[in-house]
Amino acid sequence: EVQLVESGGGLVQPGGSLRLSCAASGFTFSNYWMSWVRQAPGKGLEWVANIKLDGSETDYVDSVKGRFTISRDNAKNSLYLQMSSLRAEDTAVYFCARGGYSFADWGQGILVTVSS
Amino acid sequence: EIVLTQSPGTLSLSPGERATLSCRASQSVSSSYLSWYQQKPGQTPRRLIYGASSRGTGIPDRFSGSGSGTDFTLTISRLEPEDFAVYYCQQSGSSPLTFGGGTKVEIK
């Protein structure tokens, strides 16, 4: 059974930083592109970033370029999202998802709140 | 950026009825790169359809996807009580990947 478990969320002040992690199990992590998708409270889904199997390629939505960095550690079956210069509009539930282009499996999500 | 417009915003139907959800793209999207998701309140999204018409693992056959170019459709042949939810289309033909705004299917 595929499992994706996010951690590292919480309350952070505007301008601050946070690192999200996603622990993957139940599939061969190194064989899949991975992604982060977010959902602001009461809003729709927004793709944030994706990363290739070996981490050699990444892509981001424009609103986070230069502020967020997606990475992975295949030895630890883990996906990461380093977020810096956080803004109020980054407040959302962040989902880890299996797949780089279509998202077959999703984690339960982790809430990130950017507020003073 | 490809903008996906879903209609209607809300669909009010009774169990057993047929639901037809529309997703229109601002530019042509290859069928290979159009997916549909279901999200129930407080739950994680679940992929129903990928490649415009292929059902995901374990998805009942009452869910079907069709379309090409700029017009795509998700059809639920007979609504079950557990199908009342929000549905999103998503394209991955070009970056940035984008989602539609969603269609809420509610009980009439």
- pLDDT means over runs of 10, chain A (116 residues): 97 98 98 98 97 97 98 98 98 97 96 97
Nearest chain A Cα distance for residue B106, angstroms: 16
DSSP 3-state percent helix, strand, coil across chain A (nearest 5): 10, 50, 40
Question: Residues 75..104 of B with a Cβ closer than 8 Å to A: which?
Answer: 88, 90, 92, 95-102
Residues of chain B predicted below pLDDT 50: none
Q: How far apart (Å, rounded) are the C-alpha atoms in residues A29 and A26?
A: 8
Tens of pLDDT, residue by residue over A41-62, are: 999 999 999 999 999 999 999 9
Tens of pLDDT, residue by residue over B29-57, are: 987 899 999 999 999 999 999 999 999 99
Residues of A in contact with B88 (CB under 8 A): 44-45
Nearest chain A Cα distance for residue B80, angstroms: 22
- How many CB pairs below 8 A link A and B? 55
CA nearest to A98 within chain B: B47
Q: Which residues of B54-86 are buried (b: 16+ CB within 10 A; e: fewer)?
A: ebbeebeeebbbebeeeebbbebeebeeebbbb
CA nearest to B93 within chain A: A101
Q: Report pLDDT for B39.
A: 98
